[in-house]
Chain A
């Protein structure tokens, strides 16, 4: 199906483990983003990518790693998960990364670190 998908939708992991969250979009959008949303708060930008092999830090990048070898995929890795990384993670994409444009968001991955 066309659109933006995230997997897994739910994940429970232990402190110290490595976790990878997947994001896939079928529109061939150039720009992709990762946000986190903590309970009762707005979203915060973790990393973004302007194209394959081009990534840059957002507001809260510490503890996360991203890669973008293919335009349609933008995985987010927590190298050593901590309890403070318990959150809902949203991936987004947009055709135009400029001043104005619509970002399309995925359904989110709810991550719990115990």
Chain B
């Protein structure tokens, strides 16, 4: 499995953009990059995923480096509800999509 490196914690202000980085230098060519987040006392929640090109959805944008060794999750306008632990997960299909959760980045949003 590809190893990931994320900052342990980040802090931002409400209504400002947030860029959450992730390094996955050992990613294989067939691994999709998934992002999940976990709000306090809840199960993880899917945010976004991508393979090579940048992706957007209603929650966030995902910018993937050209060499695919890093990616950045972008929250365009953070709210207090975005305070969570964010996990970057290169997922490989081996009979099933196995997600390997690392430590993630704990995001704090200041009002």
Contacts and interface: CB of A to CB of B under 8 A. Distances in A.
A100 B45 contact: no
Interface residues of B, number: 26
Contacts, number: 70
A104 interface: yes
Nearest to B41: A108
Contacts of B91: 99-100
Q: Which one of A35, A101, A107 has the highest number of Cβ atoms from chain B below 10 Å of its Cβ?
A: A101
B80 interface: no
Interface stretch (A13-21, A41-49, A65-73, A75-83): A41-49
Contact of B49 (A37, A97, A100, A105): A100
Interface string A43-61: 1110010100000101100
Contact of A56 (B87, B96, B99): B96
A101 B36 CA distance: 12
Interface stretch (B9-17, B63-71, B101-109): B101-109
Interface residues of A, number: 30
B97 interface: yes
Nearest to A48: B96
B111 interface: no
B101 A43 contact: yes
A44 B101 contact: yes
Nearest to B97: A97
B93 A97 contact: yes
A50 to B, nearest CB: 6
A44 B102 CA distance: 9
Given A42-B87, A99-B91, A99-B97, 12 more contacts: A31-B96, A42-B101, A45-B99, A50-B95, A58-B98, A92-B44, A97-B93, A98-B93, A100-B49, A100-B97, A102-B46, A105-B43
17 contacts: A31-B97, A33-B99, A42-B101, A43-B44, A43-B99, A45-B99, A50-B96, A58-B98, A92-B43, A97-B93, A97-B96, A100-B49, A100-B97, A104-B46, A105-B43, A107-B43, A108-B43
